[in-house]
């Protein structure tokens, strides 16, 4: 549940206008992810997992035929964080009904191998080979 809430809040920045994005999270009720069902988040995270294991530039769409919600994930960057974690920068585009949004987010691998949002992760100055 915590992961779903975290995703909802961070992806809430995916809005239709840039003015709302400039006000931090803005009105998350107007974000596509505010309309997502648990199954939508399951599909989104499964897509994140698949894309993060690919090469930079990899893109994959996801769609929930039951809700009509969907989007796409693109891998923009792969890096090792300053604290040694395996991280990825992603472009996330989502839609729910007439709402559309786009954002860039960073995810880093947990020791258990799951991807967690981490907006504060920074690339190490001397990445591991």
Q: In 33-122, which residue ranges form alpha helices assigned H by DSSP? A: 38-52
Mean pLDDT across 105-121: 92
pLDDT at 15 over 80: no
Q: Is the pLDDT of residue 29 over 50?
A: yes
pLDDT at 28: 64
What pLDDT does 105 receive?
Answer: 93
Q: What is the pLDDT of residue 97?
A: 83
In this prediction, residue 128 carries a pLDDT of 54
- Helices vs strands, H then E, count in the chain: 3, 5
Mean pLDDT of the chain: 80
* For range 18-31, the mean pLDDT: 47
In contact, 82 and 108? CB cutoff 8 Å: no
């Amino acid at each position: 549940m915590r992961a779903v809430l975290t995703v909802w809040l961070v992806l809430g920045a995916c809005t239709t206008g840039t003015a709302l994005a400039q006000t931090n999270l803005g009105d998350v009720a107007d974000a596509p992810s505010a309309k997502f069902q648990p199954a939508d988040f399951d599909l989104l995270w499964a897509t994140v997992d698949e894309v993060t294991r690919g090469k930079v530039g990899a893109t994959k769409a996801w769609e929930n035929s039951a809700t009509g919600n969907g989007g796409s994930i693109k891998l923009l960057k792969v890096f090792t964080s300053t604290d040694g974690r395996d991280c990825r920068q992603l472009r996330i585009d989502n839609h729910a009904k007439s709402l559309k949004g786009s954002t860039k987010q960073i995810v880093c691998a947990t020791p258990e191998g799951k991807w967690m949002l981490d907006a504060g992760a920074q690339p190490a100055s001397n990445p591991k080979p």
